[in-house]
């Protein structure tokens, strides 16, 4: 038996039930195949998802998608803010958003965001190429009291946890400097590029598989069943405050286990 068909009205009703409201800014992570199928071509399906989101948040709302270009750090491929593709592991919806005519994209290749709507320039227009620093896309999503919505996918996909780790200052991650060029409007940007990465020697293993359980048990998730899966909605500021308190008491709260640091080697000096 195949996946159930999901109508646009089904998605609209479920998004509203999950707490999304008109005028809000929302970061969308999605894999519609995990909950069901839309009728029509692939393009029709992507348009249906976007239209449903747009009808829920309205013309005054802003829709944001992760538009990460992992090939920048993995293969040292220069990043073109407007034209570089979204890495395939993020799915098709982010590429659909990035190809829209009025999209605004943030500068950091590894954590680039693509946004459409009145707050797009604010979210993605910060004059920084830091992945998680002040005025980065994730920093501004937090300050804008935005929401994150997961359609089909669970919370293991939550990149935002690294922003909170960055702000708290956990010892198992550090800011790496990149010299591979980044271009915007055909011109190389005049900002240094950095991203938070983990130390390799202590075998730092993220415990992302437990994110869904942790956030749901903490009461931070509005969860709505749809088709064969769920839509989950959270607010950035509530997630930040929850993780801030956890990480200040236990730097390794988001890891599988405490890293086995070696004395006189980074980061245990």
For the chain, the domains span: 8-247
**Above 90 in pLDDT, residue 21?**
yes
What's the pLDDT at 101?
93
> Using CA atoms, how far apart are residues 19 and 21, in angstroms rounded to an integer?
6
Predicted pLDDT of residue 269:
76
Which stretches within 101-190 are classed as H helix?
Answer: 120-124, 137-143, 160-168
3-class SS at 190? coil
Q: Identify whether the C-beta of residue 194 lies closer than 8 Å to the C-beta of residue 176.
A: yes
Do the Cβ atoms of 194 and 129 come closer than 8 Å? yes
Mean pLDDT of the chain: 95
* Residue 169 burial (C-beta neighbours within 10 Å; 0-12, 13-18, 19+): exposed
String of DSSP letters for 27-49: EEEE-GGGT-B-SS-HHHHHHHH
236 SS3 class? helix
The span from the CA of 243 to the CA of 169, in Å, is 12
* pLDDT > 80? residue 84: yes
The residue with tokens 């950035």 is 236
pLDDT of residue 210: 95
pLDDT tens across 22-55, in order? 999 999 999 988 999 888 888 999 999 999 999 9
Upstream peptide bond of 267 is cis (omega within 30 degrees of 0)? yes
**What Cα–Cα distance (Å) separates residue 137 from each residue in 61, 62, 85, 174, 193?**
16, 13, 18, 19, 14
The most confident of 39-43, 102-106, 258-262, by mean pLDDT: 102-106
What's the confidence (pLDDT) of residue 218? 98
pLDDT band at 1 (very low <50, low <70, confident <90, very high): low
On whether the CB atoms of residues 64 and 25 are closer than 8 A, the answer is yes
pLDDT (mean) for 3-30: 96
pTM score, two decimals? 0.96
Q: Give me the pLDDT at residue 266, please.
A: 84
Residue % of the chain over a pLDDT of 90: 86
224's tokens = 């709505």
């Amino acid at each position: 038996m195949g996946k159930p068909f999901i109508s646009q009205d089904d998605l609209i009703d479920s998004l509203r039930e999950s707490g999304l409201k008109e005028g809000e800014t929302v970061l969308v992570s999605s894999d519609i195949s995990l909950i069901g199928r839309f009728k029509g071509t692939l393009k029709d399906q992507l348009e249906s998802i976007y239209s449903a989101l747009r009808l829920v948040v309205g013309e005054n709302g802003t829709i944001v998608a992760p538009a990460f270009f992992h090939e920048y750090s993995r293969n040292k491929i220069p990043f073109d803010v407007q034209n570089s593709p979204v890495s395939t592991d993020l799915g098709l919806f982010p590429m659909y958003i990035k190809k829209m005519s009025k999209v605004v994209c943030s500068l950091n290749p590894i954590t680039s965001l693509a946004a459409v709507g009145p707050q797009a320039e604010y979210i993605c227009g910060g004059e920084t190429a830091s992945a998680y620093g002040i005025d980065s896309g994730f920093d501004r999503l937090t300050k804008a009291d935005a929401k994150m919505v997961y359609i089909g996918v669970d919370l293991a996909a939550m990149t935002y946890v690294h922003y909170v780790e960055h702000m708290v200052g956990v010892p198992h991650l550090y800011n790496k400097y990149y010299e591979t060029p980044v271009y915007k409007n055909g011109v190389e940007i005049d900002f240094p590029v950095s991203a938070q990465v983990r130390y390799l020697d202590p075998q730092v293993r993220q415990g992302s598989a437990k994110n869904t359980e942790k956030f749901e048990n903490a009461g931070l998730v509005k969860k709505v069943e749809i088709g064969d899966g769920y839509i989950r909605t959270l607010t950035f500021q509530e997630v930040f405050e929850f993780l801030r308190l956890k990480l200040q008491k236990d730097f390794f709260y988001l890891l599988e286990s405490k890293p086995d640091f070696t004395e006189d080697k980074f980061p245990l000096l």
